[in-house]
Chain A
């Protein structure tokens, strides 16, 4: 089936441009030949598959394994701390080493274990749960993984060289400023984790697009697996929350490296700015960790309760509510910072409000168990352990949400106990339940019930006996982060008990490790669906291609309620039983009703993602260690890798509709608003806008600290002429880009090229005019926080304009080479979205910098 040539707006027939690289299409076959083609398309490369394979089943397993190794490493650090604190006056660790150990324990647990491993589980399982063959951007998954693994390793390795971060996992300035932390310890944290955070955002973009656009046909939002709902909310939270801490990192590094005083109170800065930005991310982070775990619990419970989840809609509602409300709680970590009482009360009220959706979830889980005949297997034990521990953590959470109580226990061991009840109860126990539940699907063998029961009881008893006494230790006044204490203050026994049982907890974890190692050889064969689970991932068995064919899904519990689904899937009676382009493919469906819309060709194995990640990690490492030459070389390699990657995108596609199976024919390309490339760019830009918002917040926040005189550094009051010219140039550039898209639709190649050149020229003009204007104001970015925020905000906007100009030239080059035409124009339209953000952001930033001083002075 071939599409007729397109007709332009002017009525002339447009002949298709030669697509020399476009693959020929094969008719779909449900027989062995189709299966053979499918397997060939999804086969692992014969050489270097470890680093070149990008399939989610490979990357996901590596991701989880790496996260688990970081968990073990951070656990060992915790044991070192407990040895140190077991007795008063211990000299096992000195103060400096203890600082590094507790900082790395928190940092690794939060940034290198908790968030990544949950994203990893999503990368591994979500495509199968959703009935897709892979994530929509497999190379992005691989990039995210390798960035995380290499960046995380560099951060962790800093411990062995005595340069590990030592300012606490939340790195408050001024302690982490250049004056009090002159070494590179803080830089390791800021640059290393900044890199890892960016990879987390990349994974979030992929998860959002994957969940909304690659579900099985017929799988509406109302029939989507509950884990997908939780991951959708979590990914959105990462996208909005991470930018705040990335912005805070940028400001801290600018202060440390270039003396721009954002947090230095002697130059108009304010350390509270860090706390606001950090906790704007840091509090949602708790829920970013908790929600996927809650999603796993909601997936596992029906299997072991042998009944459907009670209140699916209510649970979805709870997940969405928590996602939003968690952003209204950040000051709850800043109750002792001297903010107005009324402000504190707002956050106290919001903290109470979040108890509603949290309660809904817990009651839904209890009702599911209540209504059922639970099968008492190891995963269910861990879930029950989770319910008990997390509920206790929730109760102490309500206590610390009360301002007067928080004033008493702030920065004491009470808070340490509370946060471990919430995080270990809320995340680690469900994670171990998930390990016992899904490992058979990955390895084909069961973990041991006997060892699992031992592990559970050791962990449950060890955890409670280690952390319950910490509430008392805190109430008796023991502060966090002290490396030793005097023997006469009444903390000795409590600390000793905590230390002993921390090792009991660790013994439980060790048994799980032994079980994982053991089961690969001696574990019982798992078979197809050992738990008789209802969700789709058990149908795929995590084969490279996932499913023999992609089945329509009409139920929340397809393996229980769609009786013929397995036979139909294996017989190839679903969509895509073959590989029509002989490449990796999956279906794109509409976001709400999941109607098939497009066959998405996916990239296969390659070196690009690995090289890009490794080179970028070296750039960050070299920057931290001040190795300029190494950094430059690695930067060039990274840039080359990214350019190669980007150049390979928006490939040539057959213009025919391809046979998708089940009598449907679908396009292989979408250049419209429904294209997943545009969705991904749109989602990324939301995250980018959050960075801009963070910088704007920094500017306004620093104004509130000294509102009387603005500009406070004696610099000239900004005029409007310069900003008006700059804004006009940028808006002009954006309009020219819009014009280029429209003209390209009419195949007016020459005038399209002219528009793109003019767009780049206007952008360059705007950058020049901006430099001149800002220079003329005499604002010194190192003299005062005002100048620092102005330069940073406008610098970030300038970066957008420069990237916009590069995009225009990029499109020009592809247009000239015939890689953009009226049909194959996704590159142009993705870049167009960039300009649609850049123009308003530029105007807004200029209005703020030029107009705000006039308003307040």
Chain B
């Protein structure tokens, strides 16, 4: 018997058990069918309200959550903080409480500070779903990466997965490492030394600075976006130099497993993280990741809403 989901929030994959992650993946599998129907909507969250609270610009994650919520029949409100009272100096907790006063059921939040979602979750009764917090976690991205891998290869346990790119500043890398290692995959991270955080090995991963080594035995490679716009320290390599040393090209893939899976959370910098031929090639599952993101986010919204309903129910009993 699988475990039941009892958490009000989804804040990261670090705290989740293997069984909880598998429950989300199994639920997402069922939700995927909904998007293939002519009427792509089920009434599961009818009457619930979801707020997308984004402190950082994001299109794909926000739209993905919005589509997911709408396919569950929830009402969706988008708040971009550039145009809100946050500009006037309101604190995160005040913003959260004000949103909650609108009788909102789920707050999906992206924030530039690590731990922001955890703090918000402690202060509101609504469910909080972390859509990325600083360098900390981006659980739904990792879940959709893992879902896509599992769909392609039938399992996660025993797979060899390499994550290439700015590991030091990547919440996507961190969530993927937690999720993949919990499910029994072996993970290698690959980047220039300045972009590998110290003591990353403690998370149970191997480290290499050689892209060919990272590709050699891998069943899949997850290529992270180089966020040049965020480089404040000047530690990033030049774009062209990065592509030469770490970019995924057809020539490099020839030396890897023939059916190696190439993933990227998007948006792609073509000619920096990978060549266009690879991005559009037979090994790439980048657009399938986008499709699967909806199913995974539907599953997450559904599970936290259901658990929170239970918590409220028990409080009033």
Q: Do these two chains really belong together in a complex?
A: no
Enumerate chain B interface residues (CB-CB to A < 8 A): none
Q: Which residues of A contact B (CB under 8 A)?
A: none
